[in-house]
Amino acid sequence: MLRAFAAALRRELRVAARHKGDWLLPPLFYLIVVTLFALGGKPNDPQLAAFAPAVLWVGALLSALLNLDRLFRADFDDGTLEQMFLAPHGPIAVVYAKLSGHWLLGGLPLALLAMPLALQLGVPSAVLGSLLAGLLLGTPMLSLIGGFAAALTVGLPRAAVLLPVLVLPLIGPVVIFGAGAARAAAAGLDAAGPLYLLASLLVLGLCLLPLAATAALRNSFD
């Protein structure tokens, strides 16, 4: 099982290394969105730092949506995914590997990129820790929910329009607690509470959402 997972993950990373545009574009998009937000406000407005957690979180969500549609599609269209589902280890290792790959190449760079962007928005350095911790716990959740939605819509021609509508309502609690942790830290409170809630959401998602995604992919095959 673990070997199947590792092999599938290695394949994901190798494919990604050959299509650099796919995973370089979301961070670039993130950079531009946050910059435009700062440009839209008053120059050097101290209010900007107060809104920074929300901007950084929503920007990360939107950027991660960009390459979600491609998560299963290429393998689904050429039949590779169906073959992988027939493998003796079953489909679950493949689904976990795909979701992990999406996080390693999508969520993790975005979470790290959020740090310089936060400094750009004038977030005090004491808040950076809880912001990063929140994003590190929250972006995997985005890959999980997004992967489930991508699996639901993999056989559809206009999935790219539908995906945000399916993902964004479900991701609501993650944004609330994630940005909440950063806001608590900015107010000088303990950020541990929201972070624990975020971690428990992640555990729940890690256990259940790959199963739901597998069922959704199966549904798309027949």
* Contacting residues toward other proteins, per CB under 8 A: 148, 152-153, 155-156, 158-159, 162, 165-166, 168-170, 172-173, 208-209, 212, 215-216, 219-220, 222
Backbone angles phi, psi at 86, to 5 degrees: -85, -5
Of 87 and 221, the one with the shorter C-beta distance to other proteins is: 221
Closest approach, Cβ 64 to other proteins, in A, equals: 18
- C-alpha span between 115 and 123 (Å, rounded): 9
Q: What are the angstrom distances between the C-alpha of 98 and each of 2, 18, 57, 153, 162?
A: 14, 16, 23, 16, 21
Cα-Cα-Cα-Cα dihedral of 26, 106, 157, 79, to 10°?
Answer: 140
Angle at 60 between CA 96 and CA 66, to 5 degrees: 65
Contact 180, 194 (CB under 8 A): yes
Of 62 and 168, the one with the shorter C-beta distance to other proteins is: 168
Closest approach, Cβ 209 to other proteins, in A, equals: 7
Of 40 and 157, the one with the shorter C-beta distance to other proteins is: 157
Amino acid at the residue 145: I
Closest approach, Cβ 199 to other proteins, in A, equals: 16
Of 109 and 194, the one with the shorter C-beta distance to other proteins is: 194
- Per-residue DSSP letter, 22: H
Of 34 and 152, the one with the shorter C-beta distance to other proteins is: 152
Closest approach, Cβ 112 to other proteins, in A, equals: 28
Closest approach, Cβ 27 to other proteins, in A, equals: 27
